Amino acid sequence: MNTKNTSSVVFPYRHPVVRDLAWVMASPGLLQKAPEGQMLVADDWCRCIYTAHENYLRELDENPAPLLNALSKCKSHRLGIYFEHLLHYWLKVILCVQQLQHNVPVFQSQKVGGKRTLGEFDFLFQMDNGKPLQHWEVAVKFYLQKKDDEGKPHWVGPADRDRLDIKLDRLFQHQLKLAGLPEAQACVMHMEAGPVQPAAFIRGYLFYPFDGAGELEQTNTVDLAPYMLSANHHKGWWLYREKMFMLTTAADVCWVILPKNRWLSPVYHGQTEEALMDKNALTAYCEIHFQHQNSPLLVVELNWQSTVWLEVSRGFILAST
């Protein structure tokens, strides 16, 4: 398969949660352009912060207890909540930001029925005392390039339940404008940090159709104006299960099926946490899986490189059309 570069960054940490933390810190965003007047958390800034704290991450890899203890407070199994808790650890423990608040609701009082929720600040904090108040809205998303009934390409979730353009519209047109509402002033005034600077922090993978020749079909670009996809975004592939014969059978390749809580960072390990499969075993597993359910499977192609199995591509296998 020629589906390399699903990740442009290798995170050589043995512990999977430390790898996930590194991925949150340094992986490229999905976008390189936000609508006029809006901001993204800059990839270059994130990469510099990651580089400055690599020694800390190596120490954490040797003793991940502080990170695991912090994450033990997360009772949800949702991937997005896990992502937010990793980001919270980065901001609080590694960056030591000031006045950090997470998931702050904004309410509107009503004459009848008490109050209703207008929205929620994902993160509010200051980099340093006296600096502007940062408002980050964060998201981790996985979208597949498909075509609608009219043949127009668009980005949809693995189970066809959501669309990237709708998610971005809500994030930029509603969530990031929350601080401008009068009802939100009570949440930020007591922090005495001056004007609020909103920014989007969007991570994830985009999966392109696999064309059968080992290439990703990227000829039909999806119009996301006024947004612009990052040229460095993480890429993967997808295909229907009846097309699995197109996957490689090379001797130095094996496969793993990733549970959803392992969807973030690339697999990099001497002995992976998941069971290794050859092509025949993967095909047999998928055959049984899709006999009983239609939920897509995220699989990773691994290549043995000197001392480790290293992820070289990942993709979704979907139920039949």
pLDDT digits (tens, 9 = 90+) for 256-315: 999 999 999 998 877 655 688 999 999 999 999 999 999 999 999 999 887 888 899 999
Within a domain: 39: yes
Within a domain: 260: no
Task: Report residue 217 as tokens.
Answer: 């079909």
Within a domain: 268: no
Cis bond leading into 28, ω under 30°? no
pLDDT at 191: 76
Given a cut of 90, whether residue 60 has pLDDT beyond it is yes
pLDDT at 5: 47
Within a domain: 111: yes
Of 146, 156, 255, 155, give the one whose Cα is nearest residue 209: 146
Within a domain: 130: yes
pLDDT at 307: 81
Tokens 């793993």, residue located: 256
> Cβ(267)–Cβ(254) under 8 Å?
no
Given a cut of 70, whether residue 207 has pLDDT beyond it is yes
Within a domain: 316: no
Given a cut of 90, whether residue 221 has pLDDT beyond it is no
Within a domain: 283: no
Neighbours of 245 (CB within 10 A): 10
Q: Where are the alpha helices (DSSP H) in the chain?
A: 16-26, 43-52, 54-62, 65-71, 79-89, 164-173, 185-189, 279-292
Within a domain: 300: no
**What's the whole-model pTM score?**
0.92
Which range marks the domain in which residue 177 is found?
16-236
Domain count within the chain: 1
